[in-house]
Structure 1
Amino acid sequence: MFSSDIRGRFRSMMDLQRLRLLNELRSRRTIAAVADALSYSPSTVSHQLSELQREVGVTLFERDGRRLRLTEAAHVLARHADVLLARVELAEAEVAATAGAVTGVVRIVAFQTAAFLLAPALADLAARHPGLRIETVMSEPDEALEALERRGCDLAICDEYEAVPRRRPAGFAFEELHVERVKLVVPRDHRVAGGTPVRIRDLESEVWAGGAPTESHGRLIIEVCRKHGGFTPDRRHQTCDVLALLALVSAGQAVTLLPELARPERDPAVAVLPIAGQPVVRRIFTAVREESLARPALAAVLAALREGRRAKLVR
């Protein structure tokens, strides 16, 4: 139990930013990583964490080589910090809702090809709400969800393939935004480039290009080849960058899988073909923290994304 002196110190501690730094250190593990993520200097992060430890009055950090290791007290405090930060976010959202003004900053983390859905929504928001500032970072969906959990962003746009479902953390609100098919992409003069659906098992001897096994695109290729073809693909080239994938395929150095939203047909040197048998489907969804749903700025962004989806369906 805390002493009465420690309780007094704890009750006087109201700096939520330092609590956020504690949470960031818990997940990122190093001061340098926290500083880089939040655009602070390492010395600033170190000083603020030292101040937090002084204010609480108990040891929160211990040196472990060149790293700071969180003590049990720090982990306890970080768990309470999660609750406090969530309550503050809820209060801010509800206060903003009473004003009704669509202003402020909304930070979005999305995967690369989501830009084709996001960009039209941003144009619509700029016209309707000039006081709203949207900031975007392109990153892998797993990283987007982690950023949302750490409150490093307000909205995550993620994808998942039926062969590789994505986790759904508690406390998040999810909404499906787009559903599309995944296509096979091969060189224009490839032996299977006849326009008819292609059996994956006919590509067992091919060289494949795709994401790393830890990334959703890499896992997709592995699972589709295993499920539809009964083989392990020869993945010699690892990248999730669409332009790099198309360059490899158009040069005759690989085949790959790409969803329709990536628009592989824009490269005249490749052939885009349907997969025979059960379709391979990608789903795109948004994720936000439940306590932020009442915030008008975030609600406006979600509404713009929905309108873009409906417009796409009408076309």
Structure 2
Amino acid sequence: MLDLHRLRLLREFRRRGTIAAVAEALSYSPSTVSHQLSELQIEAGVTLLERDGRRLRLTEAGHVLARHADVLLAHVERAEAEMASAAGAVAGVVRIAAFQTAAVHLAAPALAALARDHQALRGEITELESDQALDALWRREADLAICDDYDGRPLRRLRGLTVEDLYAENVRLVVPRGHPARRLADVAGAQWAGGHRGTSHERLIHDVCAAKGGFHPDIKHRATDLLVLLALVGAGQAVTLLPDLARPERESSVETLDIGVGRRIFTVVRDDGLARPALAAVRAALRAAAGSAR
């Protein structure tokens, strides 16, 4: 009998290419991943991995089994969802991956409502960037991802996913109180505060400044916490871009300016789990929280 957990590791190895990358992605030690894949070879009765210089690679049999692992894991999730649907049980664990503002203003209120209405359901939130949240959904480490894009930036599509719009808002230029800027081009020479390199917030600043202002921003300060960005702007040390959901207008030391940029927030779930009542309850609670946040 093939172990589903080990099949998942094999699928991740096909996707990531090294034992170390699988271990890092799934928070295991490399020795644990190597041992589990060796055990899977014994269960399968064929060679799944072979040496290629100093690296390991999948054999043809390994590729075949990894492809079947995708199907098997999907069938298991679909079976679990259909059993839960047949029982009508709004119960169990639903894992939510969400970026910061969505976790604070959408997911947290939704979980509070679910705790009141469905006491047998346990929601778990992990803060992740949108791309990371989709990866977690793909790896079946999350059941629902809350993601965003800006003014139609194309979503990285994956087969077998259902996307539902949740919230739409503006992204605004945030400057120190009393700053003379009235449009984006007025802060072309300013120091900026933004997300870390490679994050969606950094990409947002670069893309918007280039498209709407015709300049490349000088990002001097970097943080993942939007409160840090607001503090830097309020102290007169930077300007930044923030969405309405971050509530920048509540900070008395800053001003916000409309620059004609929007953000779309949406949920993503695997089709295999759509029949699960607990997941449906979480999606409904998120829609209600989004309605209250407007």
* Structure 1 residue aligned with 2:161: 172
Q: Distance in 2 between matches of 1:103 and 1:186?
A: 46
Matched-pair identity in %: 65
Q: Which residues of 2 match residues 80-91 of structure 1 at below 5 A?
A: 80-91=68-79
The residue identity in structure 1 corresponding to 2:217 is P
User: In structure 1, which of residues 44, 48, 53 is the aligned counterpart of residue 36 of structure 2?
Assistant: 48
Aligned length: 293
Q: Distance in 2 between matches of 1:254 and 1:19?
A: 49
Q: Which residues of 2 match residues 265-304 of structure 1 at below 5 A?
A: 265-275=249-259, 279-304=260-285
The structural deviation recorded for 1:288 is 0.2
Question: Is the 1:23–1:150 Cα contact (8 Å) retained in structure 2?
Answer: no
After superposition, the Cα gap between the structure-2 partners of 1:85 and 1:188, relative to the gap in structure 1 and judged at 3 Å, is same
The residue identity in structure 2 corresponding to 1:21 is L
* Structure 1 residue aligned with 2:109: 120
Question: Is the 1:180–1:282 Cα contact (8 Å) retained in structure 2?
Answer: yes
The TM-score normalised by the length of structure 1 is: 0.86
Q: Distance in 2 between matches of 1:258 and 1:67?
A: 44
1:140 counterpart = 2:129: yes
Question: Is the 2:183–2:257 Cα contact (8 Å) retained in structure 1?
Answer: no
Q: Distance in 2 between matches of 1:65 and 1:268?
A: 61
Q: Which residues of 2 match residues 20-169 of structure 1 at below 5 A?
A: 20-35=8-23, 37-38=25-26, 40-63=28-51, 68-115=56-103, 116-162=105-151, 164-169=153-158
The structural deviation recorded for 1:297 is 0.8
Q: Distance in 2 between matches of 1:120 and 1:52?
A: 42
Q: Distance in 2 between matches of 1:133 and 1:60?
A: 38
1:310 counterpart = 2:291: yes
The residue identity in structure 2 corresponding to 1:164 is R
After superposition, the Cα gap between the structure-2 partners of 1:203 and 1:69, relative to the gap in structure 1 and judged at 3 Å, is same
Question: Is the 2:2–2:43 Cα contact (8 Å) retained in structure 1?
Answer: no
Question: Is the 2:84–2:276 Cα contact (8 Å) retained in structure 1?
Answer: yes
User: In structure 1, which of residues 172, 179, 203 is the aligned counterpart of residue 187 of structure 2?
Assistant: 203
Runs of 4+ in 1 over 6 A off after TM superposition: none
Question: Is the 1:184–1:256 Cα contact (8 Å) retained in structure 2?
Answer: yes
* Residues 109-118 or 230-239, more deviating: 230-239
After superposition, the Cα gap between the structure-2 partners of 1:83 and 1:228, relative to the gap in structure 1 and judged at 3 Å, is same
Unaligned runs of 5+ in 1: 1-12, 193-197
The TM-score normalised by the length of structure 2 is: 0.92
SS at match of 2:285: helix
Q: Distance in 2 between matches of 1:17 and 1:186?
A: 50
The structural deviation recorded for 1:66 is 6.8
* Structure 2 residue aligned with 1:6: none
SS at match of 2:180: coil
* Residues 216-225 or 101-110, more deviating: 216-225
After superposition, the Cα gap between the structure-2 partners of 1:280 and 1:145, relative to the gap in structure 1 and judged at 3 Å, is same
Larger radius of gyration: 1
Q: Distance in 2 between matches of 1:284 and 1:247?
A: 25
